[in-house]
Amino acid sequence: MQIFDLTGRRALVTGSSLGIGFALARGLAQAGAEVVLNARDAGRLAGSAESLRREGAKVFELPFDVTDHEAVRRAVDGFEAEHGAIDILVNNAGMQHRAPLEDFPADAFERLLQTNIASVFHVGQAVARHMIARGEGKIINIASVQTALARPGIAPYTATKGAVANLTKGMATDWARKGLNCNAIAPGYFDTPLNAALVADPAFTEWLEKRTPAGRWGRVEELVGACVFLASDAASFVNGHTLFVDGGITASL
């Protein structure tokens, strides 16, 4: 359907050399968008970009550290000046650290804050300034099932993902009048490198299958539809919303 067609648009996806970010970049490309891959590791980024080019996608590589405000601004401003508009931003970069809260390392807490929430501000602001000047743009922040729920050992991660949802509301409140749509996707438990330790744990997988109404881990490709929807004209009046893609885990006790 034409309302979901992203042909002629360009999407920047942070943290997109693997996992959810790579899957979303591939899905946006399949919907017609040019994609801008981002990561700190330029070598890994180049390999991921080449794999998408082999599939026929038009791909740019933009390595920068999402936690460095000035580096983000320089990279985004430089890209826009050289290549043109970033029409869609997917703030996907994130990390996890597991430890009992009473023993949680302070430096790990700070890294979580910078990577999971400060980066959304840094990249969101840098890209939004250009979108505002054009009067249109789509920002999609990647939250989590932990936006609404908590589990032992990841309280700081839970705090950052709750903040992502509220920053998304704030973005919509400030920028909807300027033509931007700002929303979030909250994945449930997906088989990704970030969750590799949990996927490899038979006891956790058994718990998850019983706890999730869908009865299984999610596949990263199952996030693509939500992303394409929020990036497209189909979501023109959707703003400040967090869309849970979680197999029903937040719907049931």
Catalytically active residues are 157
Residue 184 bridge partners (DSSP):
141, 242
Residues with Cβ within 8 Å of 248's Cβ and at least 6 positions away in sequence, in order, are 212, 213, 214
The C-alpha atoms of residue 215 and residue 163 are separated, in whole angstroms, by 28
